[in-house]
Amino acid sequence: MQWDGEGLIIGVRRHGETSVIAEVMVAGRGRCLGLVRGGRSPKLSATLQPGNTVQVNWRARLEEHLGTFQLELLEARAAALISDRLRLYASQLVCEHLHLLPERDPHDRLLGMAERIMAQESIPSALGATVARFELGLLEELGFGLDLTSCAATGSTRDLTHVSPKSGRAVSRAAAEPYLSRLLRLPPFLIGDTEPGPGDVADAFKLTSYFLDTHVWMPRQLDQPAVRDTFVGLVS
């Protein structure tokens, strides 16, 4: 069994004395793992950096086996990310989120979003807004997407300002008024083509954090990624 593809390295862990197991998001194939023999050598270590895009050749005797990777570097982003703290934290957070996806299940939309985040300029509010949208996309891909198209109470599609923590549906300003203390604020940039205003990025991460914690982190007995609070603090 073998296949070829292009993918984004999202993680590497040691295996034995000289090899590593690489975790790569591959277009059309999703999150894939493979053994890289000699992966701890100086030459391969430079390629095997999270954030780099590689050409992947995977081989195994049976499809369900771990298999081995042969990798060729296509785009080296790691050095640029390391030199820019904000982009580095964004990259690390996105890679941590991609680890949550089921193995070998295609998620090309998230892969594309991740690559755009790693290439984006280091402007705090703009980068924070993009990562918050990525977290909304992650919830959707994991089966816990929010319905932000119409008001849960009235059906209106206009003036949506909050989200119900119970249903994950949007609520209009008028319908939200009596229950503001129980609802989560919906920043306008999450549902429209607008720039985030004061407090919007922080509120977006409060929103995604609530639903990630409720549906993903707590059920899997996971803590949120350690880098997340640092990144949110820098962009909010």
Domain extents in the chain: 2-77, 123-235
DSSP symbol at 103: B
Predicted confidence (pLDDT) per residue in 33-71, tens digit = 999 999 999 889 999 999 999 999 999 988 889 999 999
Asked whether the beta carbons of 203 and 232 are under 8 A apart, the reply is no
Give the integer Cα–Cα distance in Å for 221 and 218.
5
Structural contact between residues 141 and 135, judged by C-beta atoms closer than 8 angstroms:
no
- The CATH number of the domain covering residues in 2-77: 2.40.50.140
pTM: 0.95
Buried b (16+ CB within 10 A) or exposed e, 155-168: eeeeebbbbbeeeb
Q: 30, 37, 32, 111: which is closest to 64 by C-alpha?
A: 32
The separation between CA 45 and the C-alpha centre of its own chain, rounded to angstroms, equals 24
**92-147 residue pLDDT tens:** 999 999 999 999 999 999 999 999 999 999 999 999 999 999 999 999 999 999 99
